[in-house]
């Protein structure tokens, strides 16, 4: 607990590894609110995908509301994993409960994000603005969870994320609008964040996209006592204490830019790079792989190998993104493309440098009542780095309740700056103690 004005900000973590969804919901809520001396002002809930087959997310939420005070603002969603004071986990549920009298909280939701991102963001933002219209507090932040991209799983054909045949690949790309209408393919995160940040200009924004365990088949968002699959949910807070937020990247930089000379599907698919077939150019001329090396990767490894070489896009805010799939000679990525791309690389040093930049030795890291962190699920591919991340956080934050959520893609916005959507970031949010102001 920490002092702010004449009252206390309290924050507490909930955690469960129970298998049964209803029991897990009760335990994660009980363990969170038992750490508070007053009713929670808001409740953030994040879970692994496993409860889909262990009773279902409706039952998990029923368990939460067996314990949580009626009317508590609640949002959340599925995550590939999470790190907290208890450990590093790829299965289970966790929660962050915060209580403080001098804050106002509003929550919002927008549906059908994959076909109407602007409409969904506007509805979500308007709900929050309406609830906080009469707030007297001028420090504001917003936490969001967005339905991430989903790979179509077709009868007989299976997962549609790698199509080797150029002819079938071109046919698949032509069908993208139909799949998008059905709630598959791109999460359209940059469009959602662009609209959300334009509506909530005075808010610090942090969040990410829901995901399963990394198969990109299904994801869920939580809003009050309901479960959704194609939505943006957000929680807005107006408070009387200063807000702390950082945005760092764990990507190594490749300075050379490559011109995208032909795109498809509203600039989300590269057909040609430097006037050459996009897939061949990417593997042979950017990554320097021979035809034999490419063939040895096989379709599954071929796809996952590319996680280590995400793209940076030549657009405001410097978005970064991973690959969405290979379709014949076409390369699909998660965000719309401008004229140029760069290819980055991933290593542990850059990841840890981004953490040390946030929690440097000169900073007083005891000034936070809690720390909420979004750092994308791609880091699960370098698993030993996850445990090293926890070691650093334990050392830097001590007993401060902290929670690292691992979404598919992270997003942030700082007032008067460009919004940012990317991968391999390390983004943090908290408020400051009174004695650190």
Ordered by start, the domain boundaries in the chain are 2-150+185-249+348-436, 254-343
Residues of the chain with pLDDT under 50: 1-6
Residue 437 confidence (pLDDT): 52
Which alpha helices (DSSP H) does 132-244 contain, by range? Answer: 166-174, 176-181, 189-199
Residue 185 confidence (pLDDT): 84
User: For the segment 218-252, what is each residue's pLDDT rounded down to a tens digit?
Assistant: 999 999 999 999 999 999 999 999 999 998 887 77
Residue 2 confidence (pLDDT): 41
* Residue among 413, 410, 415 nearest 425 (CA): 410
Residue 31 confidence (pLDDT): 97
User: Distance between CA atoms of 421 and 434, rounded to whole angstroms?
Assistant: 31
133's CB contacts (< 8 A; 6+ apart) are none
User: Distance between CA atoms of 73 and 302, rounded to whole angstroms?
Assistant: 43
**CB burial of residue 37 (10 Å; 0-12, 13-18, 19+):** exposed
R_g of the chain, CA atoms, integer Å: 21
Residue 4 confidence (pLDDT): 44
* Residue among 389, 390, 381, 379 nearest 425 (CA): 379
Helix (H) or strand (E) holding 119, with range, is helix 117-131
Residue 48 confidence (pLDDT): 95
User: Distance between CA atoms of 325 and 317, rounded to whole angstroms?
Assistant: 24
C-alpha dist (Å) from residue 164 to 151, 204, 228, 280, 331? 16, 43, 34, 12, 11
Residue 243 confidence (pLDDT): 96
C-alpha dist (Å) from residue 5 to 9, 14, 36, 139, 241? 10, 26, 18, 14, 9
Residue 170 confidence (pLDDT): 92
Q: Angle 27-32-37 (CA atoms, 0-180°, nearest 5)?
A: 130
Query: Is 419 in a helix, a strand, or coil?
Result: coil
Residue 5 confidence (pLDDT): 42
pTM, full prediction: 0.92
Residue 337 confidence (pLDDT): 87
Residue 379 confidence (pLDDT): 62
User: Distance between CA atoms of 25 and 59, rounded to whole angstroms?
Assistant: 8
Residue 1 confidence (pLDDT): 38
């Amino acid at each position: 607990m920490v002092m702010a004005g004449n009252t206390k900000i309290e924050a507490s973590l909930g955690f469960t590894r129970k298998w049964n969804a209803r029991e897990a919901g009760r335990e994660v809520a009980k363990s969170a609110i038992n750490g508070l001396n007053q009713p929670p002002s808001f409740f953030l809930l994040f879970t692994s995908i496993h409860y889909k087959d262990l009773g279902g997310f409706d039952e998990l939420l029923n368990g939460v509301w067996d314990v949580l005070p009626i009317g508590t603002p609640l949002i959340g969603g599925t995550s590939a994993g999470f790190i907290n004071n208890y450990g590093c986990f790829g299965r289970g549920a966790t929660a962050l409960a915060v209580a403080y009298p001098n804050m106002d909280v509003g929550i919002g939701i927008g549906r059908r994000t994959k076909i109407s991102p602007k409409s969904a963001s506007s509805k979500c933002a308007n709900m929050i603005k309406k609830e906080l219209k009469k707030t007297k507090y001028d420090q504001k932040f917003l936490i969001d969870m967005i339905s991430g991209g989903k790979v179509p799983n077709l009868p007989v054909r299976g997962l549609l994320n790698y199509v080797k045949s150029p002819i079938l690949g071109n046919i698949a790309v032509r069908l993208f609008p139909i799949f998008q209408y059905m709630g598959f393919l791109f999460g359209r995160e940059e469009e959602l964040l662009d609209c959300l940040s334009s509506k909530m200009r005075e808010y610090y924004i942090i969040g990410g996209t829901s995901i399963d365990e990394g198969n990109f088949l299904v994801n869920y968002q939580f809003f009050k006592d309901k479960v959704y699959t194609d939505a943006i949910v957000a929680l807005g807070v107006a408070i009387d204490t200063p807000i702390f937020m950082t945005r760092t990247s764990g990507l190594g930089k490749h300075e050379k830019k490559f011109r995208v000379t032909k795109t498809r599907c509203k600039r989300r698919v590269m057909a040609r790079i430097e006037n050459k077939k996009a897939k061949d150019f990417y593997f042979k001329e950017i990554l320097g792989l021979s035809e034999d090396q490419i063939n040895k990767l096989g379709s599954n490894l071929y796809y996952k190998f590319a996680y280590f070489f995400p793209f940076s896009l030549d657009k405001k805010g410097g978005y970064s993104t991973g690959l969405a799939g290979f379709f014949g000679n076409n390369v699909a990525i998660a965000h719309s493309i401008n004229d140029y791309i760069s290819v980055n690389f991933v290593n542990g040093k850059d990841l840890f440098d981004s953490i040390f930049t946030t929690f440097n030795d000169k900073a007083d890291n005891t000034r936070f009542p809690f720390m909420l962190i979004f750092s994308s699920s791609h880091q699960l591919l370098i698993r030993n780095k996850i445990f090293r991340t926890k070691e650093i956080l334990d050392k830097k934050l001590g007993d401060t309740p902290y929670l690292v959520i691992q979404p598919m893609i992270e997003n942030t916005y700082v007032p008067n700056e460009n919004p940012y959507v990317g991968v391999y970031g390390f983004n943090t949010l908290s408020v400051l103690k009174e004695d650190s102001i």
